[in-house]
Structure 1
Amino acid sequence: MSAVTLFGTLDALGTFVFGLSGAMVAIRKRLDLFGVLVLATATGVAGGMTRDLLLGDTPPAVFRSALPLGMACAAGLFTFFFGALLDRMQRPVMFLDAVGLGVFAIAGCQKALMLGLTPPGAILLGVITAVGGGMLRDMMVSEVPRVLREEVYALAALSGAAAYVGCLALGLSTTLAAVIGGALAVILRLASVRFGWHLPRAPWF
């Protein structure tokens, strides 16, 4: 799979998965259909928009193609009508958020590399892409963003993006590198919740 095809696939998948998580939060907050679609769309496209603006790729892809908005709205509609299927999972918002985190970390990193950024800059862009949608979602429903309070969130995205860049440096294919990096981010995020891992807090407070 070429880098361009891989990026497009990851970007669409990440938009849809984050759209699902945003819609689930909206439904749990008892928002109506319009509110569900707004939160799904904001969650799905915010990270990609931020990435594109920082890269100078303007106007952002969400304004140049109907696909991002279509994927986010499709996720919102699916959750509105069939969200009970997702709700059967244990902690569905956390799981969907973890998957979106891993996918967008790799997508953001890959686009940055395609546009000529150095590996450290590309890794940082991957993290920003991964956490942007979740941050906006949480703020829109008056919650402290998970990136500031959860056990391992941005660190999981950072690890996944760094693993992706490292795998490419070792000569692995973009597809295999994306699978390894994305899986690492998702596993770290889920494991941190399961086992209560967290970064150190100030010992005196």
Structure 2
Amino acid sequence: METLVLILDLIGTFVFALSGAMMGVRRRLDLFGVLVLSFAAASAGGMTRDVLIGATPVAALSDWRYPSISLAAGLVTFLWSPWIERLSNPVRMFDALGLAVFAVAGTQKALAFGLAPPMAAAMGMLTGIGGGIARDVLLAQVPLVLRAELYAIAALAGAAVVAVGHWLQWPALPCVLAGAGLCFGLRMMALRYGWHLPVALQSGGDGEPPGPMR
């Protein structure tokens, strides 16, 4: 189980690092800025999770593989961004994949540290959304999780599959794969069809009826 969590964490680190680095390239940051974004996007969620569950020192700082993978992904993106851009909407695809992997890996690690399934699922969601929040804050924009189509909900759904499977004592690997698939599928379907939660209404300033806040 420790090996499974480690593999998922490293995969999620690489994918989220690519997402953060691509955002930096699109904003025309220099090499240092791209590497900072790649590390922040790849590590912030896992670091927050580790602090909250008592897994200290946090893996992103105590295990050389995490910063090495995130910085390598940032360097690859900086050097070969035109090729990566040829992929279909690469930032959102990498972000959705990282969200799915981190959500199930974070849940699995929280369960291994003795958290109850509901709280473990919450930790999984936090692991998935934390890196994206850090990336967007560094870029001075509203975090994607607060404005995107089924972002945190998709992470929570995938994490819940792992948590429920653990509670029912089902095999871990099928639950992890099912949870990651559900999260990724929900996120991509939401992007394709515009699924989102209800938004707040604001009243018109000139007597017009309230409209959705965009």
User: 2:150 matched to 1:157?
Assistant: no
Q: Secondary structure at the match of 2:195?
A: coil
Q: Secondary structure at the match of 1:193?
A: helix
**How many angstroms apart in 2 are the aligned matches of 1:163 and 1:60?**
25
Tell me the residue number matched to 1:174.
172
Q: Structure 1 stretches (4+) deviating beyond 6 angstroms?
A: none
Amino acid at match of 1:55: I
**Which residues of 2 match residues 49-88 of structure 1 at below 5 A?**
49-88=47-86
**How many angstroms apart in 2 are the aligned matches of 1:86 and 1:7?**
27
Percent identity for Structure 1 against Structure 2: 48
> Which residue among 113, 116, 124 is the counterpart of 2:114?
116
Tell me the residue number matched to 2:198.
200
Query: How far has the Cα of 1:170 moved from its partner?
Result: 4.0
**Which residues of 2 match residues 120-131 of structure 1 at below 5 A?**
120-131=118-129
Tell me the residue number matched to 1:106.
104
Number of equivalent positions? 203
Tell me the residue number matched to 1:146.
144
Query: How far has the Cα of 1:37 moved from its partner?
Result: 0.6
**How many angstroms apart in 1 are the aligned matches of 2:166 and 2:112?**
13
Could you tell me whether the CA contact under 8 Å between 2:117 and 2:167 is conserved in 1? no
- More displaced 10-residue stretch of structure 1: 81-90 or 49-58: 81-90
Amino acid at match of 2:28: R
Tell me the residue number matched to 1:32.
30
**How many angstroms apart in 2 are the aligned matches of 1:23 and 1:98?**
15
Query: How far has the Cα of 1:133 moved from its partner?
Result: 0.3
Query: How far has the Cα of 1:65 moved from its partner?
Result: 1.0
TM-score by length of 2: 0.92
Give per-residue Cα distances to partners, 1:47-84, cap 9 Å, x unaligned. 11000111122221122110110110011011111222
Give per-residue Cα distances to partners, 1:3-28, cap 9 Å, x unaligned. 11110000000111000000000000
**How many angstroms apart in 1 are the aligned matches of 2:79 and 2:90?**
16
**How many angstroms apart in 2 are the aligned matches of 1:63 and 1:5?**
18
**How many angstroms apart in 2 are the aligned matches of 1:72 and 1:145?**
20
Tell me the residue number matched to 1:190.
188
> Which residue among 20, 23, 48 is the counterpart of 2:21?
23
Amino acid at match of 2:130: G
For the pair shown, the structure with the greater C-alpha radius of gyration is 2
Which runs of 5 or more residues in structure 2 are unaligned?
A: 202-209
Could you tell me whether the CA contact under 8 Å between 2:25 and 2:34 is conserved in 1? yes
What RMSD, in angstroms, separates the aligned Cα atoms of the two structures? 1.1
Give per-residue Cα distances to partners, 1:95-140, cap 9 Å, x unaligned. 1000000000011101100000000000000011000000000110
**How many angstroms apart in 1 are the aligned matches of 2:170 and 2:83?**
37
Could you tell me whether the CA contact under 8 Å between 2:117 and 2:166 is conserved in 1? no
Amino acid at match of 2:187: R
Tell me the residue number matched to 2:205.
none
Give per-residue Cα distances to partners, 1:140-188, cap 9 Å, x unaligned. 0111000000011000000000012223344432111111000100000
Amino acid at match of 1:59: P
